[in-house]
Structure 1
Amino acid sequence: MSSPQPPMPPAAPTREAAPGSAYPGYTSPIPVVRTHLGHAIASEWTKIRSVRSTMWTLGVFVLLVIGIGTLTGVVVANSDPALSGESPLGLGFFGLLLGSMCIITLGVLTTASEYGTGMVRTTMVACPSRGRVLAAKGIVFFLVAFVVTLVSASLVAFLHVAMLQGQGAKDPSGGEWLRGTVGISAYVALLGLLSLAVGSIIRHSAGAITIMIGAVLAPLVIALFMFSQSLEDVRQALFEYSIPNQLSVFYSNSLSQSGPSGWDPLWIILGATAVAFAAAFALLEKRDV
């Protein structure tokens, strides 16, 4: 004879599954949060502050801007005569011109290095919206580059004014202070942002850095060797719209007598950066990662 079966326990109460759930009766305890641009920005901020290239490039940038700027101020202060009737802010030009190479390098590495290491695949899995990823990279990089440049340029400007005060140099006006600190910081940050977009387009760190350094130096170098009278207009245009000359415009010390003046260089680099970003967005949507 068979033994009596034990009584079955009462069935556990079931919960209605969410519509479309693959496991009826189960509700995840983890809240589902709709992602947005803020999450992508937080992710890119974690990346840019945790990689060694950021500290190296920005460290060298600060060293060049402050070191060369201070050295230039000391040399001019000990010369006879020193600046006569000119603003001392222009002495910061040399350090920023060399330091901009560091910002260009960091801008390229912010995007192109992920393609070299394959990290971009993980990035796109975590955030399938490719345009959002590129926008987050651009926002984080611009803010970092602008703040570091502003602090460095302002410190050098104050040092130059303090060293050359009473030696024939004129006191900078409010507009000159604004262009020599905020204006040139925005220009350098936008130049780095342009490099970031070029890095996204080229997807090769060395190639994109070479292109950007060529864009900075080649027009001025080419113009120096244009001796033909028939090429005078081209030579003049290369001088006027070269990046070194546009940097000097912010210090009211342009290398040419015509061309961009005041805040014009900022609008020029802003337009070029917008075009490059539009191309980067379009290619990012069409290409495989």
Structure 2
Amino acid sequence: MTHYPAPAQAPLPAPPGAYSSPIPVVRTHLGHAIASEWTKIRTVRSTLWSLGVMFLLVVGIGMLMTGTVGENEYEYSPILSFGLPGVLLGQLCIVTLGVLVITSEYGTGMIRTTFTASPQRGRVLAAKAIVFFLVTFTLSTLACTIVALLNKAALEGRSINRFDGSAEHQVDTASASMGEFLRATVGVGLFMALLGLLSLAVGVLLRHSAGAITSMLGVVLLPLLASLFISQISVKEKLQEYSMPNLVGQLYGVPIHGDDGGWGLLGLLGLVTAGMLGAAYAVLRGRDV
């Protein structure tokens, strides 16, 4: 027995007086969420202030430190390391901004509007992470590059007295290799961006600005401070080795403990950040707003 397909039915005409939107309906995707987060991050004043202060701290203190280097230095240090103090202060701005990227919406109730417009919460978190990472990495790397170029222009080629522990000393010529330059620019930029993403993840988990900022300040400062009051050498060294200031110090060639160039600790920070973002995604999907 032969079966013939049923004839296609024409769509029913719209009832008289029904509204027909002139705006075409499109399926949303990650690009729309990224565009939305980019609009937020560049129009909110707290973002501009935080990133502006970070940029001024890194560049301004870096220039100040370079300008105070005397003609005769009696202790050798990498010429790019004079950007370290500015980064140690600038990272606090990144921590604050990373938390506020999400907790400010919880505080104002705008997070309900965000999740109504984009019900897929994982997409919202991914968009925030992508936009914040790119903005933070770009500005941090730019600021560090300005300081590194200034250091090279002002200090490279100088004669520096270097003591090796004996009565005699040798005179070195100050210089910076390409590897040192990449660590002090791209490496530090990655550190700042990853630290910001870690702050974002903590903000998602805690949903409270003050609590999340305080927790992140503890992560940044507590290991090194605690090591000052611990007498057991092995514990002291571990706390110093895995502290944030030591990671930045290794990138600049002036570590507190250990010396792997900073890339190993930077990779570890990336793994911790990825794990925290995964936990934030799981919590975000499983709980109410």
The answer to whether TM tops 0.5 is: yes
The answer as to whether partners of 1:72 and 1:91 remain within 8 angstroms in 2 is yes
Q: TM-score, normalised by structure 1?
A: 0.87
Matched, 1:55 2:48: yes
Secondary structure of the corresponding residue to residue 288 of structure 1 = coil
Partner of 2:202: 198
Matched, 1:89 2:84: no
Output the CA distance in 1 between the equivalents of 2:100 and 2:67: 35
Partner of 1:11: none
Output the CA distance in 2 between the equivalents of 1:286 and 1:261: 40
Secondary structure of the corresponding residue to residue 278 of structure 1 = helix
Partner of 2:146: 155
Output the CA distance in 1 between the equivalents of 2:116 and 2:285: 14
Output the CA distance in 2 between the equivalents of 1:123 and 1:28: 23
Partner of 2:11: 16
Shift of 1:71: 0.8
Change (3 A) 1:232 1:44: same
Output the CA distance in 1 between the equivalents of 2:102 and 2:260: 31
Partner of 1:280: 280
Change (3 A) 1:263 1:219: same
Q: Given the alignment, which residue of 175, 178, 186 partners 1:174?
A: 178
Alignment coverage as a number of residue pairs: 267
Output the CA distance in 2 between the equivalents of 1:79 and 1:134: 51
Partner of 2:155: 164
Shift of 1:259: 6.2
Output the CA distance in 2 between the equivalents of 1:262 and 1:49: 31
Output the CA distance in 2 between the equivalents of 1:71 and 1:105: 24
Partner of 1:100: 91
Output the CA distance in 1 between the equivalents of 2:181 and 2:197: 24
Output the CA distance in 2 between the equivalents of 1:17 and 1:134: 40
Output the CA distance in 2 between the equivalents of 1:172 and 1:22: 76
Shift of 1:47: 0.3
Correspondence 1:127-276 to 2 at 5 A: 127-168=118-159, 169-227=173-231, 231-256=232-257, 258=258, 260-276=260-276
One-letter amino acid of the counterpart of residue 16, structure 1: P
The answer as to whether partners of 2:247 and 2:262 remain within 8 angstroms in 1 is no
Shift of 1:260: 4.8
Backbone CA RMSD of aligned residues? 2.1
| Greater C-alpha Rg | 1
One-letter amino acid of the counterpart of residue 111, structure 1: I
Change (3 A) 1:73 1:25: closer
Segment of structure 1 superposing worse, 179-188 or 134-143 = 179-188
Shift of 1:80: 2.8
For structure 2, list consecutive stretches of 5 or more residues without a partner in the other structure: 1-9, 160-172
- Percentage of pairs with the same residue: 52
Q: Given the alignment, which residue of 23, 26, 38 partners 1:30?
A: 23
Partner of 1:118: 109
Secondary structure of the corresponding residue to residue 126 of structure 2 = helix
Q: TM-score, normalised by structure 2?
A: 0.87
The answer as to whether partners of 1:138 and 1:193 remain within 8 angstroms in 2 is yes
Cα distance per residue 1:232-260 (max 9 Å; x no partner)? 1111100101000011111122111x365
Shift of 1:29: 3.7
The answer as to whether partners of 2:121 and 2:284 remain within 8 angstroms in 1 is yes
